[in-house]
A and B are shown apart, each in its own frame.
Chain A
Amino acid sequence: GENVEQHPSTLSVQEGDSAVIKCTYSDSASNYFPWYKQELGKRPQLIIDIRSNVGEKKDQRIAVTLNKTAKHFSLHITETQPEDSAVYFCACTSYGKLTFGQGTILTVHP
């Protein structure tokens, strides 16, 4: 089955810095790559996604890149703010099965 590896497990940055989270996957049939943000005590919510026919997507301060050949994708957050502090999960979908990475705890210090 699909295996998704996510790094780093924790990330601490100063407000205004950039943050990068990386994921690799194993199933070449995966074709949809969403990123979820989970704030403390809340349910995960989609923040951005990318499909296999696209290499990069941007939405304001967040961007995602996908390298299908290398089977890795990354989340980039620029100009981080304290409200970006949360757990971030990468995921991928293959034949309907949605598999998540282990999560990254991002802490943005004011």
Chain B
Amino acid sequence: DVKVTQSSRYLVKRTGEKVFLECVQDMDHENMFWYRQDPGLGLRLIYFSYDVKMKEKGDIPEGYSVSREKKERFSLILESASTNQTSMYLCASSLWGEENTEAFFGQGTRLTVV
């Protein structure tokens, strides 16, 4: 059973704080993704990674950075949290290859920036 685990379910941070969201998967997937989910806007891709130390910007990378030092772990970093980054953050992972495959999601982290 594929497991994608996010470190926190709920998080409250202050404006200006540096915030780390962690995601770990146990299926040896090459691809990992970070999305934010806001009502009416769907799942918007922040960053994705297809290998250790490799990263690609998604559609809304501003204000975020990522780190992938190990294959199973993908971290999202908010360098200086702002109130407009209050959102639900979802991590996902999938296999890489000619045949694209199902992405498995973590349970989500609801971040509130005050």
Contact = CB atoms under 8 A, between A and B. Distances in A.
A6 B102 contact: no
A81 interface: no
A100 B42 contact: yes
A61 interface: no
Interface string B72-89: 000000000000000000
A106 to B, nearest CB: 14
A105 to B, nearest CB: 9
Given A43-B90, A44-B43, A100 B31 contact: no
A93 interface: yes
A31 B101 CA distance: 11
Interface of B: 31, 33, 35, 40-45, 48, 50, 56, 58-59, 90, 92, 94, 96, 99-103, 105-108
Contact of B105 (A9, A44, A102): A44
21 contacts: A1-B59, A34-B103, A43-B90, A43-B106, A43-B108, A44-B90, A45-B105, A51-B100, A91-B43, A93-B100, A96-B50, A97-B58, A98-B33, A98-B45, A99-B45, A99-B59, A100-B42, A100-B45, A102-B40, A102-B42, A103-B42
A96 B41 contact: no
Chain A interface mostly:
strand
Nearest to B43: A100
Contact of A31 (B40, B90, B100, B108): B100
Contact of A51 (B33, B48, B96, B99): B99
B46 to A, nearest CB: 12
Given A32-B100, A46-B103, A98 B42 contact: no
Contacts of A98: 31, 33, 45, 48, 92, 94, 100, 103
